[in-house]
Each structure stands twice: as structure tokens, then as C-alpha cells.
Structure 1
Amino acid sequence: MGPPQGWRSVSVAPERLAAWLERFGLRHGTPSVESTADGVVLRSPDGAQARIRTPWPPTGPSDDPLAALVLTTTRPRLVGVLIVRREAHAVGVFDGTRLQDGRHHSHYVQGRTKAGGWSQQRYARRRANQSARAFDAAAADAAAVLVPVAGRLEALATGGDGTAVSAVLGQPALGDLAGLPRLGVFPVPNPNAGVLASFAEVFRRVPIDLNDLA
């Protein structure tokens, strides 16, 4: 769910959330705290509001929602990763910020052609076939890396192109991943070793919606 109309969104690394909360209180005054189904809402005396969201169920002291929120967002979790674009894919398993296992491959997929011309349909068929082979390869790597640990994963973080991700996850070999909570799809470039290794920095960030007074 995105921010309410007229609000803006920022995000912070989980390890910096406690400091962000402290600065918010210093700037705007001690806020009231309301627990919600997906996080907390802060309302300060000067009218500033912040909605902090997390996909995880709360852990920590129920009488201190902010402490519980920090504990919830910073706890290391085993998360599967699937990043797919037509030209490349990457799969991996993260234990907290550490990449425990991963694979990545690139593919040749022909670029789009201009409308018209006698060869347009031939090029379109070739591109579709190349895309299908690329998605099959992504599904094979996901089946090898993610499916064996699916029962231990707390979520599946996805990135790249949403249509491509859906095409891969729709393959029967990945049925064991269907019930996992989804994080993403995060807009990252064509995945390579660097994009995969740093993906935890993307999917672990905590989204915060701010009103115009915050």
C-alpha cells in the first residue's frame, strides 16, 4: 500500500530506524503512537505524522510499540530472493544481510523492432521464444536454490520486472513458493553478482510515509 494522497515516502535501513524515531521526536515533539495492522502511526503535537510500515508480525514488548517495531525490523530473517528481467535473473537466500546461497545468469533476448516491416512477426516470435527460455532458466535456478529451503523461508523478496517475475513464479516447479509472503517487486537493474549481493539493502529497508508537516 502506498502513501496517502498528499504524503511522501522515505525509507531507512532497519539499523537506523531507532535513531530516525529519536530525531522525529526531537523535531516535532513527543508523538502519540498508534499500533496498526502493518506497523505504527506517529502523531506529533505540531501536526507532523509518520506511518511506519513493516510486513513482519510484531515481536518485542507489547507495551512499547516503538521498541517492538525496532526489534521486528532488525531481527535477522531467512528470506528468498528472485530477481528477473528478460536479459538476466538472480536467485538467492539471505540470512539477515548475508547472502547464504545464490546464482545469477544473463540471457540474450532480442530487442524490440519498430512497427511495420515484413520481418516484424518473425522478430516478435523469436523474442518471445528467447524470453521463454530465459524464464525457464530462472525457474530452474529458483527450483534448485529456493524450493529446497521453502519451508524455512519467512518471505520471498522479488525484484526486476513484475511481468517477468510473475511468469517465472507461475511455473509448476515453483509451487512450494506460492504460500510465502511477498516483498517487492523492487525496481533494480539487470541482476548480476553485485546486484544480488546488495539486494538485502533494498528489501530490508523500512518504508515511512510522511505528511506535509513532517
Structure 2
Amino acid sequence: MLMLSAALLFLVASHVVPSQAAVRGRLVARLGRGTFLAAYSLVSVAALALVIAAYRSAGTGTWLWYPVLEGRYAALAAMPVAILLLVCRLTQDPSRMAGIYRITTTPGSLGVLLWSLVHLLNVGETRTVAVFVGMAAIAAASLLRNAMLARPRGAAGAVPFARILSGSERFAPAEIGVWRLLLAAAVTASLVHLHPLVIGPDPLAGVL
């Protein structure tokens, strides 16, 4: 677990430190944007590879808690939302206050954070918990950073539907589009189907 903890700390640091405005600015100024992005990608991939290797070598550890069946229902309900947030983040322009960005200014970070949290409900073994805590930490740090960079700044923009409920923004589901909903549903169904084949646990076990 010591090596896994160190690898996870390195993974978190490799995402959080270079994303700080002051650090990123200095590195871009010194290396150039292209070189910085290439180096950042290489370090991120290396950090992830270290986590995978450390996870495998850690072996099965103790159980911190035992997941309850209700956690699977929560995951099955929440994962389509997380996938939709990520689909919208990848297919909509963040500079335009439209579609998903009327609902939240940080859809990508929220999607990853939601993914991490619902998986924590369904794991309990030490090394697996450590991995998802690390992923949740990265997502939370990214959410806070992106919330401060987005317009409007802060929690008012990041909290889903907060601006719509306050009347400062309107709900426009047509800007999200049916095709994004269908794509998110297809991706979710594929992940559920492939989960027991690629990862191991069957998310539908005991549910259906």
C-alpha cells in the first residue's frame, strides 16, 4: 500500500500542480505551449502507469467497509448523468454560455467527481478505495479551479441548476440535443456491458 499511496500522490500532484495558474504560466513561458502540453501528457501517462503497476503489486488488502446493494442502484442512476456531463463537455464550446453550460460551468469536473463518488459507494477494499479517493481528489481540485476560471465565477456557476433556479439563467434542453442524450445512453450501456469483461465486477449483479 505504501507504493500505491506514493503513486497516487504523484498522480494527484501531476494534475494539480501544473494546473495552477502561476505554475502553468511559468512553465509555458519557459518551455512553450506545445512542449508544455507534451510534457504534461507524458507525466500524466507515466503517473497513471505507476498507479496501475502499484495497484497490481499491492495485492488484496483489508476491507474498510462492505458495499450495500443500494450503492449499485445509486451508481446505475448516477452514471448516465456523469456520462452525459462528460459527453457535453467534449462536444460543446465552453466559451459559449449555452447547453450544458447554462446548467453548470464545470460539467467535465462534475462528471468525473460523480463517477468517482458513486464508485466509492460500491468498493470497500483498501487499494480500490485509495484509487477512487485519488480520482475524486483530482476531480474536486479541477472543479474548484475551473469554477474560479469560468464565467460566472465560483459555486453559483458550478452548482447544477443554481443559476436557473435563481432566475439569472434559463433552461434550454434543446441546446443539449437529443443526440447527446442518446450518445450518453449508448456509452453507459456499453460500459455496463463491458464492465464484467474488462474490469471484473458486474454492476448488474444482484440488481436484475
Larger Rg: 1
TM-score range, shorter-chain basis? under 0.3
Q: Which has the larger share of strand? A: 1
Q: TM-score, normalised by structure 1?
A: 0.22
TM-score by length of 2: 0.23
Of structures 1 and 2, the one scoring higher in RCO (CA 8 A, sep 6+) is 1
